[in-house]
Amino acid sequence: MIRSLPRKELDDKERRLELGFDIPYEMKRLDNGLTVVVSPQPGVPIVTVDVTYDVGSRVESEGKTGFAHLFEHLMFEGSENVGKGEHFKLVAEAGGSMNGTTSEDRTNYFETLPAECLDLGLYLEADRMRALVLTQEKLDNQREAVKEEKRLRVDNQPYATSYETTDFLAYDAFAYKHPVIGSMSDLDASSLDDAREFYARYYAPGNGLLCLTGDVEVADAFARVERFFGAIPARKTPAPFHVDEPEPTGERRAHVVDAHAAVPGIHVNVKIPPRRHPDLLALSYAEKILGGGESGRLWRRLVKDDELALSLSLGIDERRGPSLFRVFALSRPGVTLETLETEIRKDLERFAAEGPTDREMARAKRQVFSDVIRLTQTTQSIAFLLSEYGVYDGAPGLWREDVAKQLSLTAADVRDAAARLFVPARTSVVTVVPADGSPS
């Protein structure tokens, strides 16, 4: 049986910005605890089936890291009625696409298929939620696959290990201190029983949210979901996980020697509040005004005008717990990392003191609105948006309220948030130099 769930987001339209569009949806819950969100998109002859589990690397304990990401691999290794490799084959033969992703905060699996193939997506996800087949051989194989992925994406990529150092330096709580890909020694020490316990705990129906978007009729979609998922037995779900991260009390520094780096680089990161916090929403404007590619204030000055940096990237690493405002730059030959750091921090301090100009604020606001439009253009992006708010907040429609808050912010609001956060006590700096002794 499917039971309707009340909407938690505010319905007072006077408190919402009239965006000119909305994302219709209905949310219900099966008796086994699975939350289901259906968002019809008439006229789009495709469907996206997205299952998001409330499990990411943040739930891992010391000595047990890497399991959230490892399971992204294991979930494609076959279930009771779907053999190894058949998931990919069946989706491809239907003309669809599929993937899975793992972050600190959640893991999701999704298929985008022709609308007439909705049952296929539901069948595949239901079968591995109900009865994933775990064997020692599969565990060993995927452990090796993760090791190879780490060698390819981290160990042998320039500057990649320094990003892991930034998290280890910035955070105190273990939840965000360790990388999503985990420790290879931890994975080596894990057993098949560990894997089965992890699956039973975190891949329970009550720990997941199924979102359907596209060419579906709501009542029919819920009926199909009940047919495929309703018989999956309920399992005990873990208690809500909270990140207990203390407030930063002083500047932090670390140094990395990188065998793959060609030139020196520097990370200047600021610890900022969690997603949905008003100050994080305000700093989304700082992200666009200071970064924003070639039009960004900091990029333009350091890379183009003063020619101090070869490249510069700037962005918000948004998390359910404390997040990071990240700046990473590579120095030009002859420019020391001390000089580059001074200039980066000078611009952050100037922004905190003066805030954005009216012209910068207006342009950034248009960019924010454009970002929202892009998030609502495809069945897949809509599924991700509704699933995030559904899993994290229990209210898929809260995205609209956040956009309204974000677009109502003023230049003074942005300046005040920057003044509170762009301070030495919240800052961590990681310098990176090549192993060949290139000047820093």
Element (H, E) at 331: strand 323-331
Indicate whether 285 and 221 sit together in one domain: no
- Mean pLDDT over 26-40 rounds to 97
pLDDT score at 194:
93
Q: Give the count of domains, the chain.
A: 2
pLDDT score at 10:
39
Residue 192: exposure state from Cβ atoms within 10 A (0-12, 13-18, ≥19): middle
209: three-class secondary structure by DSSP: strand
Indicate whether 189 and 260 sit together in one domain: no
pLDDT score at 292:
73
pLDDT score at 375:
87
CA distance 276 to 406: 9
Indicate whether 293 and 155 sit together in one domain: no
Kindly report the average pLDDT of the chain as a whole number.
Answer: 93
Indicate whether 295 and 423 sit together in one domain: yes
Indicate whether 21 and 167 sit together in one domain: yes
pLDDT score at 439:
54
CA distance 33 to 5: 12
Indicate whether 98 and 180 sit together in one domain: yes
pTM, two decimals, is: 0.93
Percentage above 90 pLDDT, the chain: 89
- Using the 3D structure, point to which of 194, 229, 264 is the last residue of a domain: 229
pLDDT at 45 over 60: yes
pLDDT at 16 over 50: no
- Tell me, yes or no, whether 243 lies in a domain: no
Domain that includes residue 145, residue range: 2-229
- Tell me, yes or no, whether 242 lies in a domain: no
pLDDT in tens, 286-312: 999 999 777 899 999 999 999 999 999
Percentage above 70 pLDDT, the chain: 94
pLDDT score at 22:
85
pLDDT at 78 over 90: yes
Reported as a pLDDT band with limits 50, 70 and 90, residue 43 is confident
CA distance 62 to 97: 35
CA distance 88 to 37: 24
Indicate whether 262 and 309 sit together in one domain: yes
CATH code (residue 157): 3.30.830.10
- Mean pLDDT over 366-394 rounds to 94
Element (H, E) at 170: helix 160-170
- Type of residue at 228: F
Indicate whether 367 and 415 sit together in one domain: yes
- Using the 3D structure, point to which of 229, 264, 282 is the last residue of a domain: 229
Indicate whether 32 and 78 sit together in one domain: yes
Structure tokens at 59: 């739930």
Look-up of token digits 């006229």? 43
Look-up of token digits 């279930």? 79
